[in-house]
């Protein structure tokens, strides 16, 4: 039997495990995750109101319940946990599917002011990530600026204006639901540094903004007209985005209690303080350079905001013991094989965002995982020459790591169902480490 560890139980990890066991009946896979809960960004990144996308958890669960796949939660790989070198001794091969755990920075003055957050911090909070704190994101906030026009920006802008009726049926933690629905926010400005034809959001996500109860969407005709792009020559996705935006600009929506303004050709240059925290963001008006980029015009606009969410993309972080390319935030690889000192290193593989960078939708991970699995299985005859333990779990326990098994995760799910019932809601996520550990322990008495 070829024993493989997949590090990370998000979509790329699950699709890698699936591809391996489907292609080769002689493979067993342990899917490790530092959290006691599986599914990575599907659980901790997809917005709670995107229930259809979240339902993907069902098909990822089927992978983790496969007879030759085992979920081992609560296993941190790297500093503070199991070193990469030790993990390599326990398995014939390791596939790192650790995603892009950090966020890009703006690198402008004022970025660290209180009230300025990475969108990923905000997402982690409303997604009940146990490392996320309630940072008082919304206290005293009337106007928010979201920097960036990708799908994460759309997610956070939408969540900022959602009401109780829409959030109550979701699995959002109770504290986040109470805070969001009680907030005094009336304006959300979503800011793109380039033109609407270069926006990264997808049309389905964009359209959703126009259907939010109690919220109007505002688009400035002049900013659309500024874009020299001929819609006829644009790829379909961008053309459809422009059509939606033009429709909003030409047929303004009825005024509502809340408004999302979509702005373009404005690049952030400074966050301005007011009373020791952020009070506004200064933008420089940009102009298209004719090649898809922009240049500054020396004209500025200040947009008031008591909350700034920087939604300018994720970024991979280095894992001790693995090579890393700081320019791309990825691990160098050839067809999924980790490249060390310029040559592919059999036995070490990558898939997902740590392999190709933080782009693409969940489905993009399927072909990416397949490529990596194919490389690994090609190397299998060599890899099988290594002696590894029949079962690595005793070695994990000897290293002081007690894995949360699938039964532990199911107990967490059960506790979340019971919490929901007590609150008169459906499933409600547990949002802290203690609650997750206590629930997992109930299925593994004496362990965890």
Q: Which of 3, 193, 337, 356 binds ligand NAP (CB under 6 A)?
A: 193
User: 151 or 372: whose CB is closer to ligand NAP?
Assistant: 151
Q: Of the listed pieces 141-149, 159-167, 221-229, 278-286, which binds ligand NAP according to CB under 6 A? A: 141-149
Give the interface segment with ligand NAP, choosing from 132-140, 180-188, 230-238, 353-361 (CB under 6 A). 353-361
- Return the number of the residue (34 or 267) whose C-beta is nearest ligand NAP: 267
Which of 38, 73, 148, 173 binds ligand NAP (CB under 6 A)? It is 148
Query: Using CA atoms, how far apart are residues 322 and 98, in angstroms rounded to an integer?
Result: 12
Q: Six-digit token pair at 6?
A: 């997949």
Q: Where are the beta strands (DSSP E) in 119-257?
A: 143-147, 187-191, 215-219
In this chain, which stretch among 65-73, 191-199, 247-255, 275-283 interacts with ligand NAP, using CB under 6 A? 191-199
What's the closest the beta carbon of residue 38 comes to ligand NAP, in angstroms?
19
**Residue for token pair 């997750």:** 436
Count the alpha carbons within 13 Å of 282 in the hemisphere toward its beta carbon.
13
Note whether 198 binds ligand NAP by CB under 6 A.
Answer: yes
* Closer to ligand NAP by Cβ: residue 237 or 374: 237
The torsion angle over the Cα atoms of residues 135, 140, 142 and 145, rounded to 10 degrees, is -30
Handedness of CA 353, 363, 240, 50 (dihedral sign): negative
Residues in contact with 381: Cβ distance below 8 Å, sequence separation at least 6, in sequence order: none
Question: Which helix (H) or strand (E) element contains residue 175?
Answer: helix 174-182
Rounded Cα–Cα distance for residues 178 and 311 (Å): 23
Rounded Cα distance between 315 and 12, Å, is 16
Residues 357-416 interacting with ligand NAP (rule: CB under 6 A): 358-361
Backbone angle region of 49, left / alpha / beta, with phi > 0 → left and psi within -120 to 50 → alpha: alpha
The token pair at 32 is: 């490790």
Q: How far is the CB of 139 from ligand NAP (least distance, A)?
A: 25
Closer of 155 and 416 to ligand NAP (Cβ) = 155
Would you count residue 205 as binding ligand NAP (CB under 6 A)? Answer: yes
Is 49 a binding residue for ligand NAP by CB under 6 A? The answer is: no
Among 192, 279, 288, 344, contact with ligand NAP (rule: CB under 6 A): 192
Pairing of strands 93-96, 2-7: parallel
- Is 106 among the residues that bind ligand NAP (CB under 6 A)? yes
Contact pick of 145, 146, 149, 443 for ligand NAP (by CB under 6 A): 149
Residues that bind ligand NAP (CB under 6 A): 104, 106, 147-153, 155, 192-194, 198, 200, 205, 267-268, 311-314, 358-361
């Amino acid at each position: 039997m070829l024993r493989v560890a997949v590090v990370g139980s998000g979509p790329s990890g699950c699709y890698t495990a699936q591809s391996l066991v489907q292609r080769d009946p002689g493979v067993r896979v342990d899917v490790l995750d530092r959290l006691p809960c599986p599914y990575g960004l599907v659980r901790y990144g997809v917005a709670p109101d995107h229930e259809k996308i979240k339902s993907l958890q069902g098909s990822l669960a089927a992978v983790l319940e496969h007879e030759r796949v085992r979920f081992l939660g609560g296993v941190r790989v790297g500093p503070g946990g199991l070193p990469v070198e030790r993990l390599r001794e326990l398995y014939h091969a390791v596939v790192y599917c650790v995603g892009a755990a950090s966020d890009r920075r703006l690198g402008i003055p004022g970025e660290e002011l209180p009230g300025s957050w990475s969108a990923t911090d905000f997402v982690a909070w409303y997604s009940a990530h146990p490392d996320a704190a309630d940072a008082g994101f919304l206290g005293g906030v009337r106007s928010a600026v979201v920097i960036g026009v990708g799908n994460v920006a759309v997610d956070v802008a939408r969540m900022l204006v959602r009401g109780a009726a829409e959030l109550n049926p979701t699995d959002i933690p109770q504290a986040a639901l109470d805070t969001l629905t009680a907030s005094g926010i009336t304006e959300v400005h979503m800011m793109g540094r380039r033109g609407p034809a270069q926006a990264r959001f997808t049309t389905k996500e964009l359209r959703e903004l126009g259907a939010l109860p109690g919220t109007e969407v505002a688009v400035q005709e002049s900013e659309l007209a500024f874009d020299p792009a001929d819609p006829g020559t644009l790829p379909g996705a961008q053309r459809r985005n422009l059509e939606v935006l033009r429709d909003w600009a030409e047929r303004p929506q009825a005024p509502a209690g809340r408004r999302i303004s979509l702005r373009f050709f404005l690049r952030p240059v400074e966050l301005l303080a007011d009373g020791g925290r952020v009070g506004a963001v200064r933008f420089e008006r940009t102009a298209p350079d004719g090649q898809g980029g922009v240049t500054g015009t020396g004209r500025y606009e200040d947009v008031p905001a008591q909350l700034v969410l920087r939604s300018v993309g994720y970024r991979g972080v280095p894992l001790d013991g693995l090579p890393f390319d700081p320019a791309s935030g990825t691990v160098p690889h050839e067809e999924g094989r980790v490249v060390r000192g310029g040559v592919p290193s059999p036995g070490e593989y990558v898939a997902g965002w740590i392999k190709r960078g933080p782009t693409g939708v969940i489905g993009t991970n399927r072909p990416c995982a397949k490529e990596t699995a194919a490389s690994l299985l090609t190397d299998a005859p060599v890899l099988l020459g290594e002696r590894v333990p029949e079962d690595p779990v005793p070695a994990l326990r000897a290293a002081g790591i007690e894995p949360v098994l699938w039964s532990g995760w199911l107990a967490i799910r059960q506790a979340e169902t019971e919490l929901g019932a007590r609150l008169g809601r459906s499933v409600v996520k547990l949002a802290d480490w203690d609650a997750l550990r206590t629930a997992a322990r109930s299925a593994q008495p004496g362990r965890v």
